[in-house]
Chains A and B, each alone.
Chain A
């Protein structure tokens, strides 16, 4: 199985911050088959980014992502209060699909 790791495990951001960055690493090359989700407490995860860098329709443009191979990054530019939650990366290169452990973002 492909193992996913994320860093940091948690971070605190302020509305005045310019950028928040979360890193995700796969245990082997997954090309660009990497997705990002946001989960708020008591809710189901929601898709933000698919195929490494494609923003899902309706997701604010302050979210962006990049990466290929084993290293990926999710960036939130000028984070807003509603961006709090836990962010997960997930590889879809091969089954079993696996998720990172999550990064808790406190805005």
Chain B
């Protein structure tokens, strides 16, 4: 089990860029089989996966964000980050970082993946 902690501004102005960092402790961000995800939850709503990154550079994003999201990582600091450009009020949400475990072999279909450890979340409000 690892610990994750989100950090970043809690208030962002419309049209600007939201920037968050997740600091991982208790394990290496360069561990094989573990991807690092960002997930958000609009107030009183469900969960939306934003995207993930792997230490070898693989990234994937939810197309619903229309290419506004960018995830990077800094192995020297054991951190990964999210940037979301051109934000609007619709981006107001609780943002979570989470470890994505892909090491469980399910069957010949492949490996299962799941979010096994989460940060506590950080609320980002988009408002002028």
Q: How many residues of A contact B (CB 8 A)?
A: 26
Write out the residue numbers on chain A whose beta carbons fall within 8 Å of the beta carbon of B118: 44-46
A66-107 residues at the B interface, CB under 8 angstroms:
88, 90, 92, 95-102
The answer to whether A50 and B104 have CB atoms under 8 Å apart is yes
- Tally of contacts, chain A with chain B, CB under 8 A: 71
For the complex formed, measure the closest distance between the CB of A26 and the CB atoms of chain B, giving whole angstroms: 14
Of A33, A98, A102, which is within 8 A of B112 by CB? A33
Residues of B participating in the A interface, judged by any CB pair closer than 8 Å: 37, 46-49, 60-64, 96, 98, 101, 104, 106-107, 109, 112-116, 118-121
A47 close to chain B: CB less than 8 A: yes
Contact surface of A with B, Cβ cutoff 8 Å: 1, 31-33, 35, 37, 43-47, 50-51, 54, 56, 88, 90, 92, 95-102
CB distance from A5 to the nearest CB of B (A): 11
- Considering the complex of A and B, which 9 residue pairs feature the smallest CB-CB distances, nearest first? A44-B118, A96-B62, A51-B112, A50-B114, A97-B49, A99-B47, A35-B114, A92-B113, A101-B46
